[in-house]
Amino acid sequence: MAIELHDDILSHLTSMAIMLHNSRRHLGTDPTQTRYCLEILAEEIQYLNYRLREITQGLHPSVLTDLGLIPALQAYIDSLARQPLPDSTPKTIALTAQGFNGNRIPKQKQENDLYYLTRQALDNALVHAHTEQVFIHLRWGQEAISITVRDKGRGMKDAPEALMGQNGHLGLLSMNERALAWRGRLAIHTAPDQGTTVQARIPINQPTDAPSHLQTFTQYLTKLATTDRRPNQPPVEIEAPPSHGGCA
């Protein structure tokens, strides 16, 4: 339950706290921006009320339950673009998914864990990386699903192993536990000013039936420091050459 609350509810509360801070900052100088922030906050409160009801009933985001992993990640990234975010957040999030082709992961619990593992890695990059772009790649292969979340930001000063579960920060710990629960492995490569790459490999009993199918999705984020908005690039589906292992 602690991991569930951390991965979803606390991340939204953190975003709300940022919006409240910026609403106070713009209160006397930019009423239009303040009003926009308050409207987003109202939506967030409604979402948190909905999600807490789901959690207490042992459920998960409806798009994840109804449509699966990739649509759920797209929906979450799209929701980020509708929030006014600090200038330190990335400009874009690029998501690619290979081997899915609309297929569902057979075990619902495994699909849920893959979703939250990917989302936690993304949330960490959004908050801590201070980078221009975050790259997410998921690959469903013959024996496993691999996840890579990469940024070129400021990296971690301490070894990831030393940070797991420290000072109430459960993000790294939750990702590692979700991987281990399926006999998978989690690796984090990072160094100061060298960015961070999170890689997970989760064994799966059902191999993909579309190994060359590739989806791409790019989302441009709205920042508080600018009013410019670039149109979102719609999902594109192409056929990729067959992969021979590993993840991009």
Q: Please list, residue by residue across 98-125, b when 16 or more beta carbons sit within 10 angstroms of its beta carbon and e when fewer do.
A: bbbbebebeeeebbbbbbbbbbbbbbbb
The model's confidence at residue 13, banded by pLDDT at 50, 70 and 90, is: confident
- Percentage with pLDDT > 90 across the chain: 48
Domain ranges within the chain, ordered by starting residue: 67-239
Q: What is the pLDDT of residues 184-207, one digit of tens each?
A: 999 999 999 999 999 999 999 999
The model's confidence at residue 161, banded by pLDDT at 50, 70 and 90, is: confident
Query: pTM of the predicted model, to two decimals?
Result: 0.71
Rounded CA separation 247/201 (Å): 9
The top-level CATH class assigned to 67-239 is alpha beta
| 23/181: higher pLDDT | 181
**Do 186 and 199 meet the contact criterion of CB atoms below 8 Å apart?**
yes
Rounded CA separation 137/139 (Å): 7
User: In the predicted model, is pLDDT for residue 72 greater than 90?
Assistant: yes
- Percentage with pLDDT > 70 across the chain: 81
